């Protein structure tokens, strides 16, 4: 079959193009869909832990029915009509590797993942919105945090070649499936690698995965992410492939939490953002390829939405002024950091409000760090900030297991199956509300 490359988004110098014309990605991520994230969905634990809790309480068959419904009803055509009305032209689709790989049967690929990805990709095609496929959770974990579904707090992907080989083969399988689909703009190989210690391992992985994809698909863009949650590209050598682009994520408040203080003068905050952003621009200087900010965002709350949107505006202004495509994290969640969220009286928010009385992410993180400090001060000598950093992820992974057992499961046990099964309906577009201030901001840039 002959492929018409004019229909595919391509890399041309430092730009993305289609049929020779420049295209600038403005879009969203579809977070907490095919990879659950606890604070975004309002349930403690990793993706696997949450699903196991449902299975323990309701049984395997009912748990499977629940998440099948969740995945197919989280987004529907009304969401896409709304996105189109905002002028959005791209959607980053995070997924967990477990939809394609059974850990007990390596080398055998599951087709389950295509049921859900194809569903969203078909809607992308209908509404002319480009999809970018994002491996958000890799075997063993590509970083130590909960959002890659690691239960150990360790980034074991970088310790075991067998795990990386599994990812490489899986991307070949996915590329073979989508090779002729021009509404898939590209493949985001692995989300936010972190604590990678061996540059040879890092480069070898990317070289091999690109080579495997190219056995099946010569024309889709491949997005490469750096170390340190894709903020550090010093380890990575250039890849000799014409359709490789580079992706970073931009959360400047991680290093400078003071910027989240509304009392800070906006010009001071903008200067801090600009300084952090200029470091990201060095990625383009190094590789001479297009840049995409695949994630940025802040917590969005009704009582602070004006300030919250001003933070996003200051970040997007930097992207727009410097030819950097972007995807806001995220489009929809359970009222955490998304444009769209279930109404207050929906079943999902009513249920998760009860859980938040005994659990939330901020306390989990603070307690994890405090427990590491307590252990060091009580039983050992003081430890350095550098050593403390990776340890707190491991402590939090233990806490997540406890929170699932002591917080999530008891609430599920009190919730009859008939009521639980109706929870996903809370995410239907007609059961959701949006932030008009953020809608207006999107239209400012898309001219919709």
Out of 37, 212, 295, 364, the active site residue is 295
56 by Cβ neighbours in 10 Å (0-12 / 13-18 / 19+) ranks as middle
Out of 37, 192, 212, 247, the active site residue is 192
CB atoms within 10 A of CB 410: 13
For 181, 275, 338, the CA distances from 308, given in Å and listed in that order, are: 37, 20, 11
N-to-C CA span, the chain: 37
Do you find a cis peptide bond into 341, omega within 30 degrees of 0?
A: no
d(CA 305, CA 438): 8
To the query of whether residue 77 is one of the catalytic residues in this protein, the response is: no
Length of the chain: 448
Q: What is the DSSP letter of 387?
A: H
Chain centroid to Cα 301, Å, comes to 20
d(CA 16, CA 22): 6
What token pair was written down for 360? 């939330």
In this structure, are residues 317 and 250 in contact, taking their beta carbons and an 8 Å threshold?
no
Could you give the count of Cα atoms lying within 13 Å of 220 in the half-sphere of its Cβ? 33
In this structure, are residues 334 and 44 in contact, taking their beta carbons and an 8 Å threshold?
no
In this structure, are residues 132 and 88 in contact, taking their beta carbons and an 8 Å threshold?
no
Residue whose C-alpha is closest to residue 428's, from 351, 342, 334:
342
Q: What is the CA radius of gyration of the chain?
A: 21
Q: What is the DSSP letter of 401?
A: H
d(CA 189, CA 214): 13
Kindly state the helix (H) or strand (E) to which residue 445 belongs, with its residue range. Answer: helix 436-446
To the query of whether residue 21 is one of the catalytic residues in this protein, the response is: no
What token pair was written down for 132? 């970018």
For 25, 29, 40, 49, the CA distances from 83, given in Å and listed in that order, are: 13, 12, 20, 31
In this structure, are residues 315 and 274 in contact, taking their beta carbons and an 8 Å threshold?
no
What token pair was written down for 138? 């890799």
Alpha helical stretches, state H, 289-384: 305-321, 347-356, 361-379
Catalytic residues: 192, 295
């Amino acid at each position: 079959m002959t492929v018409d490359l004019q229909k595919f988004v391509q890399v041309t110098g430092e730009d993305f193009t289609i049929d020779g014309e420049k295209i600038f990605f403005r879009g969203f991520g579809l977070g907490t869909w095919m990879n659950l994230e606890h604070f975004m969905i309002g349930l403690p634990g990793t993706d696997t832990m949450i699903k196991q809790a449902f299975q323990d309480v309701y049984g395997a068959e009912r748990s499977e029915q629940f998440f099948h419904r969740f995945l197919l009803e989280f987004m529907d055509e009304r969401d896409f009509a709304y996105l189109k009305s905002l002028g959005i032209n791209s959607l980053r689709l995070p997924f967990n590797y477990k939809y394609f790989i059974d850990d007990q049967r390596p080398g055998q690929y599951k087709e389950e993942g295509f049921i859900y990805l194809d569903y969203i990709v078909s809607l992308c095609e209908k509404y002319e919105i480009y999809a970018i496929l994002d491996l958000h959770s890799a075997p063993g974990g590509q970083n130590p945090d909960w959002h890659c579904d690691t239960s150990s707090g360790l980034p074991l992907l970088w310790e075991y070649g067998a795990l990386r080989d599994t990812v490489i083969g899986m991307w070949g399988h996915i590329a073979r499936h989508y090779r002729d689909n021009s509404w898939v703009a590209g493949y985001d190989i692995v989300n936010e690698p972190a604590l990678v210690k061996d540059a040879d391992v890092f480069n070898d992985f990317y070289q091999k995965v690109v080579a495997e994809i190219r056995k099946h698909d010569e024309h889709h863009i491949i997005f490469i992410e750096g170390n340190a949650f894709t903020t550090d590209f010093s380890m990575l050598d250039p890849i000799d492939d014409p359709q490789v682009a580079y992706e970073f994520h931009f959360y400047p408040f991680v290093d400078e939490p003071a910027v989240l203080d509304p009392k800070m003068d906006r010009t001071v905050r903008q200067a801090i953002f600009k300084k952090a952003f200029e470091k990201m621009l060095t990625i383009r200087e190094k590789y001479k390829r297009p840049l995409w900010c695949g994630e940025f965002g802040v917590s969005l709350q009704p009582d602070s939405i004006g300030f919250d949107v001003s933070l996003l505006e200051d970040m997007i202004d930097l992207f727009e002024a410097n030819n950097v495509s972007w995807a806001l994290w995220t489009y929809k969640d359970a009222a955490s950091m998304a444009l769209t969220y279930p109404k207050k009286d929906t079943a999902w928010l009513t249920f998760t409000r009860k859980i938040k009385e005994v659990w939330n992410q901020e306390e989990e993180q603070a307690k994890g760090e405090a427990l590491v400090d307590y252990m060091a001060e009580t039983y050992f000598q003081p430890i350095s900030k550098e050593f403390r950093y990776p340890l707190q992820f491991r402590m939090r992974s233990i806490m997540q297991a406890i929170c699932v057992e002591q917080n999530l499961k008891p609430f599920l046990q009190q919730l009859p199956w008939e009521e639980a099964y109706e929870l996903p309906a809370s995410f239907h577009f007609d059961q959701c509300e949006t932030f008009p201030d953020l809608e207006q901001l999107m239209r400012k840039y898309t001219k919709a």
